Amino acid sequence: MGEAHAVVLSAADPFEVFQHWMAEAAAREPADPTAMALATSTREGRPSARMVLLKGWDRRGFVFYSNAESRKGDELSANPRTALVFYWPAIGRQVRIEGHVQPVGDAEADVYFSSRPRISRLGAWASDQSRPLADNAMLERRIAELDQRYPGDDIPRPPHWQGWRVVPERIEFWRDQPYRLHERTLFTRSGDGWAACKLYP
């Protein structure tokens, strides 16, 4: 039994478990271990999902960034309920998180935006994310124009580019086992703490 697996069986804190599992995924997963599926839905309940990257996490929740005028941004504005899924096939583990989103503060978003590669910051200005694009040349022209407008490294964060923090209410840890007898541990928020139980596979 590995150390990370032992943590799941004994820990009363899902963030402690997540820290161990993410560290193991970072060491062994050949793909990006921070990649996560983000599920959103409209006010009427029509769902959609896509892959985004985890850009920070602590006991407050799990943070990602994007264009607030994109489809995901529109849906999060209309319905703040969301879900995340991490899947790490190299270590046979999955984490499912359900909760609601809160906007990240401007100062926190500014710090992360300034850490991005320059071309990514220009791209945040150039892209009308999720909207029709005539051809790639249009996007390239926009980036070239922005490259002239902001010749140095001082590129401000666009007003439509922001971060969201997923505040978890349920966190499930899934561990692959032979014959589909997988191990599942569910943490549910209970007051200021968490209640844990095992689930049938």
Here the CATH number for the domain that contains residue 73 is 2.30.110.10
- pLDDT band, residue 11 (cuts 50/70/90): low
Report the amino acid identity of residue 97: I
- pLDDT band, residue 133 (cuts 50/70/90): confident
Q: Evaluate whether residue 115 is within a structural domain.
A: no
Q: Evaluate whether residue 154 is within a structural domain.
A: no
pLDDT of residue 134: 85
Q: Evaluate whether residue 127 is within a structural domain.
A: no
Q: Evaluate whether residue 185 is within a structural domain.
A: yes
Domain count, the chain: 1
Q: Evaluate whether residue 125 is within a structural domain.
A: no
**Range list of H helices, the chain:** 3-10, 14-28, 71-78, 106-115, 118-126, 136-149
Q: Evaluate whether residue 97 is within a structural domain.
A: yes
Query: What is d(CA 96, CA 184) in angstroms, rounded to the nearest whole number?
Result: 10
Burial grade of 130 (CB within 10 A; 0-12, 13-18, 19 or more): middle
Catalytic pick among 59, 116, 180, 184: 180
Which backbone phi and psi does 157 adopt, to 5 degrees? -75, 130
Give me the domain span that covers residue 13: 3-106+162-199
Provide the whole-model pTM.
0.91
Q: Evaluate whether residue 193 is within a structural domain.
A: yes
Q: Evaluate whether residue 35 is within a structural domain.
A: yes
180 an active-site residue? yes
Q: At what angle do helices 106-115 and 118-126 cross, to 10 degrees?
A: 120
